[in-house]
Chains A and B, each alone.
Chain A
């Protein structure tokens, strides 16, 4: 046993958002455990998952915030967007309503994260082709119009799940390389080197926006 797992250079914060029941927690579970969780309970507030990946030879720890989709938690989960480097916005290709709500999720994301946050649109449950309610083309068009990355994925089969998480990380990493993402900014969502366990989040207090309150 080596200390290997702790040798990562960056921590990226992701947030997964989208309507209730679109499969956010299942996508996370598939990504971290490589298993499909068939009976997934409703998420309360936010739950977490982590996995260390490699991008361009750099080990990166993904710290994934899996939010509750239930409407009643919406105000609570809005508190958690801040400082996300990546946002995975999920809808269910078999339920049009979840697709229709995307613009509202997108508005939240844009308002509550910073401009360099990478937003990735995921059409989940693409294994259920027979029940498809949203075409790939229209979702692709929506993604293009809003400058989002997009794939259809299946938390059940695992199709495109890795890709979505990894592609987001690559984009973030690219932003760092290009200097578009300021590592020193409190809300960049990226920490260089393993964070010193401790209370580093308080430092962003001073910059916190007073206009936004989810309570």
Chain B
């Protein structure tokens, strides 16, 4: 039954996961994505200022000259341009991808003849962060020089490199940008290929640049006033090269990294330094080692001391925490059962049930009373009579023994020898141990009540109230005794402030103890309630 719930959580998780995955794959695979999505993504990108070049786009660049970047810049209204044009950093130009590129992609396909014309000046997409939107006016395309074979060969090589080093570059560049980038700019390679074939069929690819340009320009006008086609082609050509250069740069960086990491040269350097430096003196090494060890020991001692006087840690050491956790689990199960019961009842039945439950809560109200519990046998008697009402087999002997041992320790210490720190430590440990033992008893009471055949809730509640008050008083008294001892040291000590702090701390942890006890008792209320209905 429980699994059903956890399964729910899991399946929910899975859903979320799958959703994420879907989103991811959607982004990556969107080829071409719907316009809206795309513009949104572009916006995202703009916000992120991720302007990586497209060298990681999963396009098979070897097969086809078409690559996504080519589709960019047709309608540059959204294009951010780096105003601060960089000088020698031309090869780090990168592209903001226009959201309209999908519409125009078909048009751009026939520009492939010109894409191999690198033209640095058109490159307005710089990697730097300072972007400014500009309106680009349509311009007549500049004459394009053809250097086809060179351009294509080079870009093919670079593209091959790009594909080959995707892993490397993805290490270097941000994974996020990779995803986003590929999400926008990557039309399906297969489709591109198909389009390309169609295009080459319809248009006679001509080497004459002017003719081709005119041709293309006309076509561009035909389709929704798309301009700057040549520019675009140039940019694309640039981008291919620049992307390739970026990749090469990445490879170079990575290589250096790898070389430095596993580097034999580093060893050489070390050897060199050793030769140059003086030979270490054994005694000095030993002295240093000794100092280091001493320092570490001191640290450990300090840590140990800090822990020794840490109430929570000591409470855990005495298994208090585990019993508290188990008690909580038990309490929770009962609460769930009660909840289900309440849900299934209506009208007067429900009112009745709630009244019963409230009555039990009222029965469990603690009355603060400051009884002095001095005598061990008196405490034992009180505890026994309190427990007897519950009719379960449980004894507080262990707790009483611990208390007695602590008293014995206090009676026999020599304040001249025993430091205030030691005294404080013992106080905290005693409080933590007594509380842990008491919590353990609450836990056992809970378990035993749950398997008890005939419940008598009122008696049980009364019994637990008495018990809790006795235990709170008992721990409080213990704290007082330790504090008194600490106070005795005040007159003879030079560190009065320190001792006062320690005394305050003992009282603080004593209050802590009583809240643990009250809390444990509260956790038993559902157990009592379950027995009443």
Contact = CB atoms under 8 A, between A and B. Distances in A.
Contacts of B303: 3
B391 interface: no
A187 B6 contact: yes
Q: Size class of A's contact patch?
A: 35 or more
B4 interface: yes
Contact of A207 (B5, B315, B322, B324): B5
Nearest to A72: B451
A197 B322 CA distance: 10
Interface string A73-116: 10110111010000000000000000000000000001110110
Q: Size class of B's contact patch?
A: 35 or more
A76 B451 contact: yes
A212 interface: yes
B5 A213 contact: no
Interface string A1-39: 111101000000000000000000000000000000000
Interface string A155-196: 000000000000000000000000000000001000000011
A63 interface: yes
A145 interface: no
B contact patch SS: helix
B85 interface: no
A212 B6 CA distance: 12
Contact of B337 (A82, A115, A207, A213): A213
A210 B530 contact: no
B312 A197 contact: yes
Q: Which of A65, A73, A75, A201 has the most CB of B within 10 A?
A: A201
B316 interface: yes
Given A2-B304, A3-B307, A210 B4 contact: no
A101 B445 CA distance: 28
Nearest to A73: B451
Contacts of B443: 45
Contact of B333 (A79, A115, A195, A207): A79
Interface string B436-472: 0000000110111011000000000000000000000
A189 B334 CA distance: 22
Interface string B298-320: 00110110010010110110010
User: Closest 9 A-B residue pairs measured CB to CB?
Assistant: A197-B312, A45-B447, A209-B5, A211-B1, A3-B303, A212-B1, A213-B337, A212-B2, A209-B2
24 contacts: A3-B303, A3-B304, A4-B300, A44-B444, A45-B326, A45-B446, A75-B451, A79-B326, A79-B333, A80-B329, A82-B2, A111-B2, A114-B3, A195-B321, A197-B313, A198-B312, A201-B328, A208-B336, A210-B339, A211-B1, A212-B2, A212-B336, A213-B337, A215-B450
Interface of B: 1-6, 9-10, 297, 300-301, 303-304, 307, 310, 312-313, 315-316, 319, 321-326, 328-330, 332-334, 336-337, 339-340, 443-444, 446-448, 450-451, 530
